[in-house]
Amino acid sequence: MKGLIFVYGMTYGGTLVSLFNPFVGFLIYVAFANLKPEALWFWSVPPGNYSRTIAAAFLLGWLLHGGGSWKLGKAALPIYALLFYWAWMFLGALISPASDRAWFTLEILSKVFLPLLAGFTLINSLERLKQLAWVLVASQGYLALEFNQTYYTSWINPNTWQFGGFDNNGIAITAVTAIGLSFFLGLHADRLWQRGLAFLVALLNAHVVLFSMSRGGMLAMVVAGAVAFVLIPKRPVHFLALVAGVLLVLRLAGPEVREEFFTSFADAENRDASAQSRFDLTRDALDVMLKHPLLGCGMENWVNVAPEYGWPRGKRVHNTWAEIGATLGVPGFVAILMFYGSCCLRLFPLARERTPVDDPWIRGLARAVIASTAGFVVSASAVTLDRLEMPYYIMLIGMGLLRVHSLGLDRKPVGAIREARKPGLIGAPATI
């Protein structure tokens, strides 16, 4: 019943609020994209167009308020890369032999890209970026809590586990992508309870990765942890937080989990068939990209080309980047890598201690995006997950941060500083 009340309240209450404050509607849309209410509370929430309803209201409110601001700042390159990738997918769908699958995928991703771009134009302050980050952490944290409760009360079979259209690998990779964001929010949160909540969400998601038995997810978690180690300030309290997290994860990992993880590093003679097939599939997909460098074999058409390389029809590459290259050619492959890579490269200076920033949250969010994206990029190399929403919203935080910082939207105007310095006003003067 609580799920039904929450969904109806957010949908219809959010629809009304969105007409006056479209960013609120966008946050609700992001929460629904993560929670997938009809799958989460399937016993009480009837099928309905909840996300579509809030999206329509949010986009209408967005248009009524002038369509946001299209001053891109340093976020221009990743935004242009995403727009090119979207347009190239449209071209790919037009000419693909697997047209039904292609248009279906394009429709799903368009429901991510259009709200994401509209939401980007509404990010005009550091405060809104923090709100988006907390919505992602809170919604993914609730999912992780539900998964952990299910695991401890009735067990989860990773071979048959599914949620919201994703198998154990998709669930694990979503969790990995959220861990970096949660960890750095825990380091930079203003209140003690917020820090505790963020660290708890990171731990719950780490356990989800472990009992999912996803090797790609486990490897990605190691990579995200290593990147976090490089990025964190070299102070005892930060080292302590990271070491405590690593020790807790090791404690939660049982012998079966450790054995499954280390099979990822076995040599060719001892590697199991599943792991070896991923190497072979990647090689074959890259061969297709080299043979058809401009347009690939056709969007979503790898499954029909696979038999030419000895694989059964319908077999996926199990490598997101290689399959994108095979089906969309070099332009699509370069565009999606530029989307992720250009944003993280431009965030890296903000993540360094030597770079002066007006607010420590700028540095914290930059580190969170880089660590989370590193985890996703690695994990997506072991499974085909081009429809996963979480990485795109993580990137939205990164692009929003680039925009806010480069345009000076994170700084208080001089007039506001003077007001704060007047006698009788509470608060220390800000610096710019």
For the chain, which residues make up each domain, given as ranges? 1-67, 73-416
The pLDDT, as a whole number, for residue 259 is 54
The pLDDT, as a whole number, for residue 312 is 93
Buried b (16+ CB within 10 A) or exposed e, 122-141: bbbebebbbbbbbbbbbbbb
Token representation of residue 3:
């799920």
Q: How far apart are CA 343 and CA 357, in angstroms?
A: 18
* Burial (Cβ within 10 Å: 0-12, 13-18, ≥19) of residue 142: middle
> Is the whole model's pTM more than 0.85, yes or no?
yes
In DSSP terms, 166 is beta-bridged to: 163
The residues, any chain, with a CB within 8 Å of residue 261's CB and separated by 6 or more, are 215, 218, 219, 253
pLDDT along the chain (432 residues), means of 10: 89 94 96 93 90 95 93 96 97 94 95 96 95 96 95 88 90 91 90 93 91 84 84 72 67 55 49 70 94 95 94 92 96 97 95 86 94 90 86 96 90 46 37 30
The pLDDT, as a whole number, for residue 418 is 40
The pLDDT, as a whole number, for residue 349 is 93
